[in-house]
Chain A
Amino acid sequence: MSAQPTSLLGKAFAILSSYGLAIGILSFLLIDTFLGTITQKDIGLLDSQRIYFDSWWLIHDVNLGGTLIPLPLPGGGLLMVILFFNMLCGAVIRMRKGWRTIGNLISHLAIMFMLAAGFVSFLYKTEGAMPLFEGQASDQYQSYHERTIEVHRYDAAGKGDDKALIIPMKHFADLDPGKARTFFAKDLPFEIQVTGYQRNANIVQAEESEKTAIDGYRVQPVKNAKEDEGNVSALEITVKLKDTPEQKAILWERAQEPFTVKVGDISYAISLSRMKWKLPFAIRLNDFVRELHPGTMKAKKFTSHVTKISSDGKEEPKVVTMNVPVRDQGYVVYQASFSEGSSGEQSVFTVVTNPSDQWPLWSCVAVAIGLIITFLGHLVRFLRRPLKVKTT
């Protein structure tokens, strides 16, 4: 029997590497997964993921006969971080090393690799949509959820800069009506005060008597859509220029044109939009083919015949169809859906970049190898075991 640790570090290590902690973590992960899955039907996938799986801690309201009891729980993010260190301490550092345990070690390291893949994905993965009409080309995709305020500068001739300044959503999503934050940049001749962020809103004509109206309009909050993709956000800005009166404007995600501020000969287009990322290549949609199950409107197969245009102008024909994406330079272009309107058929691609894209696959293979080694070891030892003759 090993001696109990006496130092603080030793005790911490003993707890961190214990089976008890592992069981506790896995139990809470099970609870979070169950509650997150149940709650998803009410609050949608994005919020459910954010509250239950991307969090350090959370409070789940338990409904007991109509009374809501707040139940504090560790969040999925915290549990996975602890699980990683628990496995590192218990299954890698503390575990007896030898040929008999090599399979176990491989499996545990592979699971830790999978957790690391999740962490890298959480930090660096980008995912968005690229809708294209036939004949249209694009080299950018836009986020499903992340909003930004963009400031794009145009010279007197109307030529825009190669880059636009962006304010990410995390810097203004907390600005409910009554809260404000001012943004500035060294190359910007004005400051932008942002307030009144609404996650889902319409813009409606204001009555003449409404003092809070801006340009004859006001923001009308709307109940959030269950899935965040359906929300159309809005906010108010005040542009503060030196020696000139302030300019107020409403920015709305669905606005057809940006709000423009003119300073001398230079124009600044300010808009609220989904975050956009640029690809190192472009995709042109040549033809979109939709196959339906006979006699139904149910999709059997969507296929997009596209041309991939490299940055050097080289063109390459490709076919993107369900479960057959186009991969290039770390980006994956999937066939997601389609829409049909007065302008024709529009193929919608999902573009994903994730440095840990293939890590879960490698991890699963490694887990399988580790388990096969472990089970084969047990089998060999079992077969080598001397047979005991039963005597009656």
Chain B
Amino acid sequence: MHLFISWLQATQSSLLSLLVLSLVLSSCDRVSERMEITQTRDISTYEAKPKLHAYPQERFGDERLRWETPAGWGQAERSQMRPVNLTFGPNKEGECYLAMLPGGAGGVLANVNRWRKQMAQPEITEEELAKLPQKTLMGIPGVFVTVDGAYTNVGAPEAKPDQRLQGIVASLGEAGLFVKMVGPKALVEANTAAFDEFVASLKLRTQQQ
């Protein structure tokens, strides 16, 4: 009988210990304001490699534009003002970007003259504008502009000489659509075919695509 009581007491102690242990275990792994990352997971060889350095638009599936980057061209930092921003040339001296402005920024003539002013060239009139060649941008007819001169970028302290700016200004209702390419004249000339290729590839993605 004494043995049984001892066994019973030992069992009771074990039970209490078990109960306490289960309560302690359940309260483990408390979170704090600074925590070390200790867990890892094995990467599967079947797992597709993600695209590194993707733009936010690509990450969130918000990419409405589709285009082909010409061979030898690179991608530059994009912004809301420049949803497509490309560079070209051995030292990325040339830049080519697409801009879309809901308000149109004053219309086609105002924009052409703004570009001419950046190239230190005089403004043109409506009649002269009408004589400029046309190119299609994303299915919309636009004015094709080529201006040579000294280019002063927005915010730049001084002008760069011997530059060429070529681009398309198109409008759809009140919205303005622009592709602008600028860089050293010889470099831009050499990349005119690539410019046409880029402009032809620009499309707005439809839901089915």
Within 8 A of A (CB), among B47-103: 47, 49-54, 56, 58-62, 80
A173 to B, closest residue via Cβ: B31
**Chain A residues positioned under 8 Å from B45 (CB to CB):** 139
**Chain B residues positioned under 8 Å from A217 (CB to CB):** 56, 60, 62
A56-B15 in contact (CB<8A): no
**Chain B residues positioned under 8 Å from A216 (CB to CB):** 56, 80
Query: With A89-B15, A257-B50 known to touch, is A174 a contact of B31 (CB < 8 Å)?
Result: yes
**Chain A residues positioned under 8 Å from B37 (CB to CB):** 151, 165-167, 183-185, 188
Set B9, B22, B40, B52: member contacting A166, Cβ < 8 A: B40
A13-B8 in contact (CB<8A): yes
B43 within 8 A of A: yes
**Chain A residues positioned under 8 Å from B56 (CB to CB):** 215-217, 250
B128 within 8 A of A: no
Set A16, A164, A259: member contacting B41, Cβ < 8 A: A164
A231 within 8 A of B: no
B40-A165 in contact (CB<8A): yes
A94 to B, closest residue via Cβ: B8
Question: How far is B37's CA from A181's CA once the two chains are assembled, in angstroms?
Answer: 12
Tell me the count of chain A residues lying within 8 A, CB to CB, of chain B: 64
Query: With A13-B8, A203-B60, A208-B80 known to touch, is A276 a contact of B46 (CB < 8 Å)?
Result: no
How many inter-chain contacts with C-beta < 8 Å in the A-B complex?
A: 135
A154-B52 in contact (CB<8A): yes
The distance from the CB of A268 to the nearest CB of chain B, in whole angstroms, is 9
Mask of B15-41 contacts with A, CB within 8 angstroms, 1/0: 110110010001001011111111111
Question: How far is B177's CA from A24's CA once the two chains are assembled, in angstroms?
Answer: 75
Question: How far is B66's CA from A185's CA once the two chains are assembled, in angstroms?
Answer: 39
Question: How far is B180's CA from A232's CA once the two chains are assembled, in angstroms?
Answer: 39
B46-A137 in contact (CB<8A): yes
B33-A9 in contact (CB<8A): no
A252 to B, closest residue via Cβ: B60
**Chain A residues positioned under 8 Å from B59 (CB to CB):** 252, 255-259
The distance from the CB of A320 to the nearest CB of chain B, in whole angstroms, is 18
Which interface class (under 10, 10 to 19, 20 to 34, 35 or more) fits B? 35 or more
A257-B51 in contact (CB<8A): yes
Within 8 A of B (CB), among A194-249: 203, 205, 208, 215-217
A161-B43 in contact (CB<8A): yes
Question: How far is B43's CA from A12's CA once the two chains are assembled, in angstroms?
Answer: 51
Set B34, B39, B53, B54: member contacting A168, Cβ < 8 A: B39
B29 to A, closest residue via Cβ: A170
A152 within 8 A of B: yes
B192 within 8 A of A: no
B42-A257 in contact (CB<8A): no
**Chain A residues positioned under 8 Å from B44 (CB to CB):** 138-140, 276, 278
B11 within 8 A of A: yes
The distance from the CB of B18 to the nearest CB of chain A, in whole angstroms, is 8
Query: With A85-B15, A185-B36, A267-B53 known to touch, is A162 a contact of B31 (CB < 8 Å)?
Result: no
A88 within 8 A of B: yes
Question: How far is B43's CA from A182's CA once the two chains are assembled, in angstroms?
Answer: 24
B29-A166 in contact (CB<8A): no
A158 within 8 A of B: yes
B26 to A, closest residue via Cβ: A56
A381 within 8 A of B: no
Mask of B142-164 contacts with A, CB within 8 angstroms, 1/0: 00000000000000000000000
B62-A205 in contact (CB<8A): yes
Question: How far is B53's CA from A272's CA once the two chains are assembled, in angstroms?
Answer: 16
Question: How far is B40's CA from A93's CA once the two chains are assembled, in angstroms?
Answer: 44
The distance from the CB of A351 to the nearest CB of chain B, in whole angstroms, is 13
Set A81, A262, A276: member contacting B22, Cβ < 8 A: A81
A140-B46 in contact (CB<8A): yes
A164-B36 in contact (CB<8A): no
**Chain B residues positioned under 8 Å from A85 (CB to CB):** 15, 18-19
Q: List 13 A-B contacts (CB under 8 A).
A: A9-B9, A16-B15, A56-B26, A137-B46, A140-B44, A164-B43, A167-B37, A180-B33, A181-B33, A184-B36, A185-B37, A203-B62, A278-B41
Measuring CB to CB, which residues of chain B are less than 8 angstroms from any residue of chain A? 8-9, 11-13, 15-16, 18-19, 22, 26, 29, 31-47, 49-54, 56, 58-62, 80
| Nearest 5 interchain pairs by C-beta | A257-B54, A215-B56, A185-B37, A163-B40, A140-B44
Measuring CB to CB, which residues of chain A are less than 8 angstroms from any residue of chain B? 9, 12-13, 16, 56, 81, 85, 88-89, 93, 137-140, 148, 150-152, 154, 158, 160-168, 170-171, 174, 180-186, 188, 203, 205, 208, 215-217, 250, 252, 254-260, 262, 267, 269, 271, 275-278, 282
Other A-B pairs beyond A215-B56, A271-B50, 20, CB < 8 Å: A12-B12, A81-B19, A93-B11, A138-B44, A139-B44, A151-B37, A162-B43, A165-B40, A181-B35, A216-B80, A217-B56, A217-B62, A256-B58, A257-B51, A257-B59, A258-B59, A259-B59, A269-B50, A278-B44, A282-B46
